[in-house]
Amino acid sequence: MATLRSVFLALSLIGAGPALFAQTAGAPLTIQSPILTIDSDRLYLESAFGRRTAREIEAQGAELAAENRRIEAALTAEEKDLTERRPTMEPTAFRALADAFDEKVQTTRREQDAKTRALNQQLEERRSVFLTAAAPVLETLMREAGAAVILEKRSVFLSANAIDITSDALARIDAVLGDDGKRPAPQD
């Protein structure tokens, strides 16, 4: 999977065409190498955008967990009530209520699982938005280094740390994209 990401990143950068940003913040890159490496997880997670996303997803996850606890408590109380009423009910009436309760539990579980999947999908979409927005900055770093490719650091068996541009990329991406993944309006 990491190798696939490396190839995708390299191909997307090579075919990206002209840089969308004429200039990026930060000192000129001093590395000169045809091959660069980057830790894409660190790049995303330590960026302002990635940290903001993590906080937002964590808050939404906490809300979902609290909702799940409330639902669980309500269902537990309903199950207890149904169990206590069982001795006073006819078997067919109890079976109908028990089946309805079971269906309610299954429906609730599917709904809550869908919310969890949606939250995970949102996380993946935000990462994709970030990488797309970061591509012009990475392309500029490639040009400055005279590089033809940026490889995922974890996919490289052995390399000199001198070709790792993760820290330079983080500084520039934060300066250009901020925490919302959008290019700031030019200042007059």
Backbone angles phi, psi at 178, to 5 degrees: 65, -150
Collect the ranges in the chain with pLDDT lower than 70.
Answer: 1-28, 180-188
Output the pLDDT for position 7: 35
Q: Which of the 8 DSSP states describes residue 29?
A: P
The predicted pLDDT at position 97 comes to 96
Find the largest Cα–Cα distance for the chain. Answer: 83
Give the pLDDT of residue 27: 66
In terms of Cβ atoms closer than 10 Å to its own Cβ (0-12, 13-18, 19+), residue 75 is middle
What single-letter DSSP state applies at residue 164?
B
Asked whether the beta carbons of 75 and 38 are under 8 A apart, the reply is no
Contact status, residue 133 vs residue 181, Cβ threshold 8 Å = yes
- Taking the C-alpha atoms of residue 68 and residue 28, their distance in angstroms, rounded to an integer, is 50
Output the pLDDT for position 181.
57
**Residues with Cβ within 8 Å of residue 182, at least 6 apart in sequence:** 133
Query: What is the residue whose two structure tokens read 């927005």?
Result: 133
What does the pLDDT read at residue 107?
Answer: 98
pLDDT for the residue numbered 129: 93
Predicted local confidence at residue 3, as pLDDT? 38
DSSP class of residue 152?
A: E
Helical ranges in the chain per DSSP H: 2-14, 40-46, 48-85, 91-145, 166-177
Burial class (CB in 10 A: 0-12, 13-18, 19+), 65: exposed
pLDDT, position 6: 38
- Start-to-end CA span in the chain (Å): 44
21 within 8 A of 136, measured Cβ to Cβ: yes
pLDDT tens digits along 10-54: 333 333 333 333 344 556 677 899 999 999 999 999 999 999 999
Q: What's the length of the chain? A: 188
